[in-house]
Amino acid sequence: MKYRMLKLALLALVLLVLASGCVDDQEVSATSSDKPVVVVSILPEAEFVEQVAGDQVDVMVMVPPGADPHSYEVTPGQLRELSDADMYVKVGSGLSFENVWMDRLIEVNPDMLVVDASEGIQLRAMEAHAHEEEHEGEEEHDEAEEEHEEEAGSKDPHVWTSPQEAQIMVENIYEGLVEIDPDNTELYTLNRDAYIGELQAADEQIKETLAGKEGSTFMVYHPSWGYFADDYGLEQEAVEIEGKEPSVQDMQRLIDTAREKNITVIFVQSGFSTTNAQTIAGEIDGEVVEVDPLAKDYIDNLAKVTEAFEKGLA
């Protein structure tokens, strides 16, 4: 009997310890979730948030590394995590992912603060292919012309590729962080000022690197670098625009343009087909080089991209 009582006492003690451990685990989990949660659409925005907030917030990225923000589908797990967010930073410039998902994301968490990172930025028009296809009938020609006009009038969403526009994005993010976490205003202000200083220095370095290249044209598969081009007096010639592959006539025009402007490098990005870029490169005896507009290490990536453009510009 005494042996049995001893076993029961030991069992009770073990259960007590386990229960205590579970409580501790729950408390740790709750403590870690005390930080404000900030959700962003793309990786460069995560960099901007972390540079201003440091480790005072938890950051969640909706479009993960290697995914295409033009076609990414949100997962159920992401929607569950989003329900606890305090703030969502949208790019706000017409990014395809946000056009499709933003209303749904807000429905999941209508109480979170939504920050438009592009507020105050003058959006540039997206270039369009000068289609040269023959049309069989007048009605078909009118429809194609109308579609072309709509394409030409759409706005370029890739605002973050400009370090000058990135400074405005950082300022908008800072204002949102101060609103959801006013106790850390002083820290956020210091961090914002320091990071904007780094962006200004990066801008000056790019100007120095690309000095003398003003008016030069670079060719890209996907038109992600229009704002960058505008900042530094360059021209961007895109192979693909708004998901539309070039026609045979477009391909010949691009090859002719590359020859005329002494273009020897076609820039591509991960996640997009390189077939057409390889074809053009083969025709002009050029090469295909990958650059990443969605890298998280924003300033270091700008330096790499600038070096690649500088080498690829005539």
**In terms of C-beta distances under 8 Å and separation of at least 24 residues, what long-range contacts does 248-251 make, across chains too?**
249/131, 249/132, 249/133, 250/129, 250/130, 250/131, 250/132, 251/276, 251/279, 251/280
Single pTM value for the model: 0.82
- Residues 39, 185 within the same domain: yes
Residues 66 and 195 in one domain: yes
Average pLDDT over residues 32-55: 94
**Residue 158: phi, psi to the nearest 5?**
-85, 50
**pLDDT on residue 36:** 97
Looking at the fold, whether 162 and 276 belong to one and the same domain comes out as no
The pLDDT tens digits of the residues spanning 45-90 come to: 999 999 999 999 999 999 999 899 989 999 999 999 999 999 999 9
Tell me which of 139, 167, 201 is where a domain ends. 201
Provide the number of structural domains found in the chain.
2
Partnered with residue 125 across adjacent β-strands are: 155
Q: What is the pLDDT of residues 152-200, one digit of tens each?
A: 458 999 999 999 999 999 999 999 999 999 999 999 999 999 999 999 9
Which residues share a beta bridge with 139? Answer: none
Query: Does the pLDDT of residue 150 top 50, yes or no?
Result: no
pLDDT of 284 over the 50 cut: yes
Domain of residue 262, residue span: 211-312
Domain boundary pick from 167, 201, 235: 201
The verdict on 177 and 221 lying in the same domain is no
Does a structural domain hold residue 245? yes
Q: Are residues 247 and 110 part of one domain?
A: no
Domain boundary among 150, 169, 201: 201
Task: State whether 39 and 82 are in the same domain.
Answer: yes
Cβ–Cβ under 8 Å, residues 180 and 39: no
For 197-226, what is the mean pLDDT? Answer: 96
Going by pLDDT thresholds of 50, 70 and 90, the confidence category of residue 11 is very low
Asked if residue 141 belongs to a domain, the reply is: no
If pLDDT is split at 50, 70 and 90, which confidence band does 270 have? confident
- Asked whether the predicted pLDDT for residue 257 surpasses 60, the reply is yes
Statement: residue 13 has pLDDT above 70: no
Per-residue pLDDT averaged across 205-225, rounded? 96
Of 5 and 135, more confident: 5
Residues 273 and 236 in one domain: yes
In the predicted structure, residue 215 carries a pLDDT above the cut 50: yes
How much of the chain exceeds pLDDT 90, in percent? Answer: 75
Q: What is the CATH number of the domain that holds 247?
A: 3.40.50.1980
234 and 98 within one domain: no
